[in-house]
């Protein structure tokens, strides 16, 4: 494969050529209520070629990996058309790499029989369905994807990466006839099927939450002091700042470059945000990105000050900065774009009691249903909330959907907890139609002033 | 394909092979420039068998059909029990899927992109326009051991235009677009929508927390309709998630309000001849004059509830059959007036064009909370500026029962939803301060 791919991309008619070939096997299973609804196996095999000619990009995807020379010619032809329209694409220099990356397995899901997987998740399903009469149903999803990704470019880089992504979600669904509520427990890993084991207690907590939410009132809309748990803190880092740090958003927008000037103060000196590809086991772990660039830990905010951003080779070249290994593609049907890996809020010094102290009226928001951003504003939705009155946690509330302005909210974070927590979920990130991309978000508790919560 | 069915029949009682090939050629503009021209092609194969009364399933890409049978047989050991015959030979509906106007070469697509970017960049020197313009050709084939053999081809034109203006820490992000089997004036409409919203969105105006008359544009309605579509989904009904499980025939909404799923609309973005299981395309009234009339089903959910499949057994991108999916969704409101009058009659209200994060919630409670990504304050029937940093909070089950004030007589496509502007009263808006 190596010689074949390197020979293919050594075509002189392009300034730059790359090919990526992916061979993946996906196994999945799905329970809905008592029934194991689906047990699927998918084989994916295909590739893509990207060509840069005189500033213009051509990109082509295919399943059929024969006649690759013709496909190279077509990508070059398309690139020339784009170049004729005055394109100015370019790439930052990176080291030439030749490497084969293996998966540092703790437990390989391919060594676990289908029968054992069915038994494990069937066990969780039984816990949910036998939890009580208010639990009306369950939903369990599990998948593992094992991939071999071959990458070669015209600079001489050749990388074969073996990759694993696995994740699952167990949901308990409770109903009292008029309302339906949900409680969830999830897991994810890039090295270990073991994270799917021994989750009985988490599943029971999810059942309890679904039932408790039935009787909980909706939160009243308004501005609150909000304490977010590590899971929501992580989603905050991802939605509220991570996306704004993706340089494809910034690199051709001079107005935004002025706002996002390195050295600008965004928060208190206890605020640190970084994005890393180096945490083995995280779903956002990756040794090389999809341009063959080694990943790293990239500081974004250090001691409250903007110090870095996430780059592809093109955004780095155009901004005169260093590539950071953030060019990622969902699969062979997409070109790489600037994406996060594992986005983290660094450990602070506050305890949970410190955060509660002095809060007259607030909300403790826990767990995440997901979030969204347009760069300036963000929203995210919590699994559950607890009112805080005079420094004490009080009643459970539901429908807690938080929103804010990125720039003011970062400045409104007044405490970061000392309980940094690695959290992996079954969700994924969406951008440019490439969803769900495995990412991770690790963080401690945080306290934020003046957060707007929707509601009546 | 037929060979595999014959081979499968040696081991299984029933077998079905689904195959879809897709080729598309998007041209992509970013930041006012042509950034790339793509050519994408893919083929997905999905085999479903019934062995010893249980379903087995497997998918692959390209010409890789050979391993499917062994994988499906392995998976069938754990598969769902199945005792229904797959659809046999059937006469398929006549649905116009593709108009010749969608045959467009790359130069034409590039010309459209130039026009869009050229017009938008005249709005403001710092405005950054984007566009993704494409034609997509799909061929869908389905054969099974019960005698069904169907095939259809479809070509759609799609345009997604965007405009972004950053002024200090104030971001204005706009988008508009269409998918259709017929090229009409989608380019012009996309440009007009972006230009109009840009003009309205230049000025930010303050908004106070209160209850307002709110008009949702067809684009803004997607998040409002989503809980209804989730509750009507046969899977949610079968599993007991849906609060509508015992509500067929009950009037839950204003009699002004009807909601349809219709895969037979000529040139509709999601129109087809048959679904991913060979059930012919049809139109299903989900809500008729406020009454819950039907759920949407694939064969599995229909069987579980003793209903008939409504032809909503659509496949995911990788060929899987999971929950039933919607085709084209049509919203009807009986009391309508021209959009100009609908807007003109609002003393003080909010026009909502898009929400952010409203999907992240529990759909079965009907509660939709979202940041107003693009919304405008209406005073004395005129749009006076953009509202920001605020949230809308609607319980759509209540709002579509007691708070419907009417709709525009004009309807527009917003992706696969065909809807008017919808006017609702007493909608809660939460704002800073």
**Looking at the 3D structure of chain A, how many domains does it have?**
2
Separation of alpha carbons A448 and A272, rounded Å: 15
Per the confidence metrics, is the pTM higher than 0.80?
yes
Domains of chain B: 2-200 (3.30.2290.10), 203-433 (no CATH)
Same domain, A264 and A340: yes
In order of A2, A103, A282, the CA distances from A100 in angstroms are 11, 10, 20
Which of A41, A252, A370 lies at the smallest CB-CB distance from B75? A41
Same domain, A237 and A343: yes
Same domain, A24 and A144: yes
Distance from A456 to chain B by nearest Cα, in Å? 6
For residue A119, give the chain B residue with the closest CA. B78
Q: What is the pLDDT of residue B365?
A: 84
Same domain, A231 and A129: no
Same domain, A158 and A178: yes
What is the Cα A368 distance to its own chain's centre?
A: 13
Best mutation site among A28, A42, A181, A427 for testing chain B: the one with the most B CBs within 10 Å? Answer: A42
Q: What is the pLDDT of residue B1?
A: 85
Distance from A37 to chain B by nearest Cα, in Å? 5
Same domain, A85 and A147: yes
Judge: B393–A44 Cβ closer than 8 Å, yes or no.
Answer: no
| End residue of a domain, out of A156, A189, A215 | A215
- Taking contacts as CB-CB distances below 8 angstroms, the residues of chain A near B30 are 252
Give the Cα-Cα-Cα angle B413, B414, B417 (nearest 5 degrees): 75
Same domain, A243 and A152: no
Q: What is the pLDDT along chain B (433 residues), one digit of tens a residue?
A: 899 999 999 999 999 999 999 999 999 999 999 999 999 999 999 999 999 999 999 999 999 999 999 999 999 999 999 988 999 998 999 999 999 999 999 999 999 999 999 999 999 999 999 999 999 999 999 999 999 999 999 999 999 999 999 999 899 999 999 999 999 999 999 999 999 999 999 999 999 999 999 999 999 999 999 999 999 999 999 988 898 999 999 999 999 999 999 999 999 999 999 999 999 999 999 999 999 999 999 999 999 999 999 999 999 988 998 789 999 999 999 999 999 999 999 999 999 999 998 887 778 889 898 999 999 999 999 999 999 999 999 999 999 999 999 999 999 999 999 999 999 999 999 998 6
Contacts of B107 (CB under 8 A, 6+ apart): none
Sign of CA dihedral B58, B61, B65, B67: negative
| End residue of a domain, out of A171, A190, A215 | A215
ipTM: 0.93
Same domain, A189 and A239: no
Give residues 155 to 214 of A whose Cβ lies within 8 Å of B. Answer: 173, 175, 177-182
Judge: B362–A182 Cβ closer than 8 Å, yes or no.
Answer: yes
Q: What is the pLDDT of residue B321?
A: 86
Structure-token pair, residue A138 = 């369950």
Judge: A82–B74 Cβ closer than 8 Å, yes or no.
Answer: no
In order of A263, A283, A285, A287, B395, the CA distances from A280 in angstroms are 30, 8, 6, 9, 43
Structural domain including A311 reads 222-453
Q: What is the pLDDT of residue B142?
A: 98
Distance from B167 to chain A by nearest Cα, in Å? 6
Judge: B356–A379 Cβ closer than 8 Å, yes or no.
Answer: yes
Same domain, A20 and A66: yes
Which of A374, A381, A454 lies at the smallest CB-CB distance from B173? A374
Give the CATH number, domain containing residue A154: 3.30.2290.10
| End residue of a domain, out of A198, A215, A232 | A215
Give residues 408 to 447 of A whose Cβ lies within 8 Å of B. Answer: none
Distance from B302 to chain A by nearest Cα, in Å? 14
Best mutation site among B299, B391, B399 for testing chain A: the one with the most A CBs within 10 Å? Answer: B391
- Phi and psi angles of residue A22, each rounded to the nearest 5 degrees, phi first: -120, 135
Best mutation site among B22, B24, B26, B39 for testing chain A: the one with the most A CBs within 10 Å? Answer: B39
Best mutation site among A27, A215, A314, A379 for testing chain B: the one with the most B CBs within 10 Å? Answer: A379
Same domain, A253 and A399: yes
Judge: A59–B39 Cβ closer than 8 Å, yes or no.
Answer: yes
Distance from B159 to chain A by nearest Cα, in Å? 14
Q: Which residues pair with B261 in a beta bridge?
A: B284, B329
Judge: B80–A37 Cβ closer than 8 Å, yes or no.
Answer: yes
Q: How many CA atoms within 13 Å lie on the side-chain side of B351?
A: 29
Same domain, A210 and A226: no
Q: What is the pLDDT along chain A (456 residues), one digit of tens a residue?
A: 999 999 999 978 999 999 999 999 999 999 999 999 999 999 999 999 999 999 999 999 999 999 999 999 999 999 999 999 989 999 999 999 999 999 999 999 999 999 999 999 999 999 999 999 999 999 999 999 999 999 999 999 999 999 999 999 999 999 987 788 999 999 999 999 999 999 999 999 999 999 999 999 999 999 999 999 999 999 999 988 999 999 999 999 999 999 999 999 999 999 999 999 999 999 999 999 999 999 999 999 999 999 999 999 999 999 999 999 999 999 999 999 999 999 999 999 999 999 999 999 999 999 988 888 888 998 888 999 999 999 999 999 998 999 889 999 999 999 999 999 999 999 899 999 999 999 999 999 999 999 999 877
Same domain, A300 and A334: yes
Which of A40, A218, A381 lies at the smallest CB-CB distance from B58? A40
């Amino acid at each position: 494969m190596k010689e074949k791919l390197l020979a293919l991309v050594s075509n002189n008619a392009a300034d730059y050529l790359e090919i990526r070939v992916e061979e993946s096997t996906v196994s999945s299973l799905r329970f809905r209520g008592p029934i194991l609804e689906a047990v699927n196996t998918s084989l994916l095999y295909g590739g893509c070629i990207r060509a840069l000619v005189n500033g213009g990009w051509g990109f082509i995807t295919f399943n059929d990996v024969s006649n690759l020379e013709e496909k190279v010619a077509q990508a070059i032809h398309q690139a020339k058309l784009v170049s004729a329209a005055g394109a100015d694409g370019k790439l930052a220099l990176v080291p030439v790499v030749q490497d084969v990356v293996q998966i540092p397995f703790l437990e390989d899901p391919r060594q676990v029989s289908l029968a054992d997987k069915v038994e494990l998740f069937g066990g969780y399903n039984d816990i949910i369905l036998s939890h009580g009469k208010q639990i009306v149903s369950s939903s369990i999803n599990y998948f593992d994807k094992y991939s071999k990704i071959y990458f070669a470019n015209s600079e001489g880089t050749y990388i074969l990466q073996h990759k694993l992504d696995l994740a699952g979600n167990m949901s308990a669904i409770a109903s009292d006839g008029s309302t339906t509520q949900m409680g969830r427990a999830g897991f994810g890993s890039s090295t270990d099927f073991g994270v799917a084991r021994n989750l009985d207690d988490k599943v029971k907590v999810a059942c309890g939450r679904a039932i408790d939410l039935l009787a909980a009132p909706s939160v009243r809309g308004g501005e609150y002091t909000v304490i977010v748990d590590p899971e929501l803190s992580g989603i905050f880092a991802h939605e509220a700042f991570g996306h704004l740090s993706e340089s494809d958003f910034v690199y051709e927008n001079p107005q935004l470059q002025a706002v996002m000037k390195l050295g600008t103060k965004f928060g208190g000196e206890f605020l640190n945000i970084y994005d890393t590809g180096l945490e083995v086991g995280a779903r956002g772990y990756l040794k090389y990105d999809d341009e063959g660039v080694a990943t790293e830990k990239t500081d974004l905010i250090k001691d409250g000050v903007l110090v870095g951003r996430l780059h592809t080779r093109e955004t780095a070249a155009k901004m005169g900065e260093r590539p950071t290994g953030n060019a990622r593609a969902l699969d062979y049907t997409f070109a790489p774009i600037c994406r996060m890996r594992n986005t983290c809020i660094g450990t602070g010094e506050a305890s949970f009691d410190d955060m509660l102290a002095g809060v007259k009226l607030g909300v403790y928001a826990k767990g995440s249903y997901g979030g969204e951003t347009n760069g300036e504003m963000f929203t995210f939705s919590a699994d559950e909330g607890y009112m805080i009155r005079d420094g004490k946690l009080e009643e459970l509330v539901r429908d807690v959907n938080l929103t804010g302005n990125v720039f003011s909210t970062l400045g409104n974070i007044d405490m970061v907890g000392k309980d940094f927590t690695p959290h992996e979920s079954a969700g994924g990130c969406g951008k440019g139609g490439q969803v769900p991309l495995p990412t991770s978000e690790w963080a401690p508790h945080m306290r934020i002033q003046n957060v707007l919560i929707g509601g009546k | 394909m037929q060979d595999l069915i014959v081979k499968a029949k040696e081991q299984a009682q029933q077998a079905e092979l689904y195959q879809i090939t897709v080729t598309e050629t998007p041209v992509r503009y970013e930041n006012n420039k042509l950034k790339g021209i793509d050519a994408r092609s893919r083929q997905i194969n999905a085999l479903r068998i019934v062995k010893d009364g249980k379903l087995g399933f497997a998918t692959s890409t390209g010409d890789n059909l050979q391993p499917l049978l062994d994988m499906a047989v392995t998976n069938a050991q754990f598969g769902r029990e199945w005792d229904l015959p797959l659809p046999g030979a059937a006469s398929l509906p006549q649905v116009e899927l593709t108009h010749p106007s969608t045959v467009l070469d790359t130069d034409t697509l590039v010309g459209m992109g130039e026009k869009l970017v050229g017009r938008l960049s005249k709005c403001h020197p710092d405005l950054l326009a984007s566009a993704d313009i494409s034609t997509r050709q799909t061929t869908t084939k389905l054969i099974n051991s019960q005698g069904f053999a169907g095939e259809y081809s479809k070509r759609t034109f799609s345009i997604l235009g965007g405009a972004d203006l950053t002024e200090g820490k104030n971001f204005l992000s706009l988008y508009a677009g269409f998918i259709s089997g017929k090229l009409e004036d989608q380019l012009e409409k996309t440009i007009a929508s972006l230009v109009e919203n840009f003009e309205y969105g230049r000025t930010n105006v303050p908004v106070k927390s209160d209850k307002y008359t709110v008009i949702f544009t067809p684009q803004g309605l997607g998040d409002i309709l989503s809980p209804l579509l989730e509750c009507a989904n046969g899977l949610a009904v079968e599993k007991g998630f849906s609060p509508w499980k015992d509500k067929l025939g009950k009037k839950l909404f204003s009699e002004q309000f009807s909601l349809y799923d219709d895969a037979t609309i000529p040139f509709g973005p999601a129109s087809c001849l048959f679904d991913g299981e060979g059930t012919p395309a049809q139109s299903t009234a989900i809500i008729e004059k406020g009454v819950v009339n039907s759920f949407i089903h694939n064969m599995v959910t229909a069987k579980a509830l003793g209903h008939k499949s409504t032809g909503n057994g659509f496949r995911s991108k990788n060929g899987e059959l999971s929950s039933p999916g919607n085709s084209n969704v049509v919203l009807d409101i009986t009391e309508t007036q021209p959009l100009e009058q609908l807007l003109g009659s609002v003393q003080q209200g909010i026009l909502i064009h898009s929400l952010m994060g409203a999907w992240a919630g529990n759909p079965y409670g009907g509660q939709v909370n979202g940041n107003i990504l693009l919304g405008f304050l209406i005073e004395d029937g005129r749009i006076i500026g953009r509202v920001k940093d605020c949230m809308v909070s609607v319980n759509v089950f209540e709002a579509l029962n007691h708070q419907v004030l009417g709709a525009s007589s004009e309807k527009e496509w917003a992706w696969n939803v065909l809807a008017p502007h919808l006017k609702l009263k007493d909608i809660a808006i939460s704002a800073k301060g």
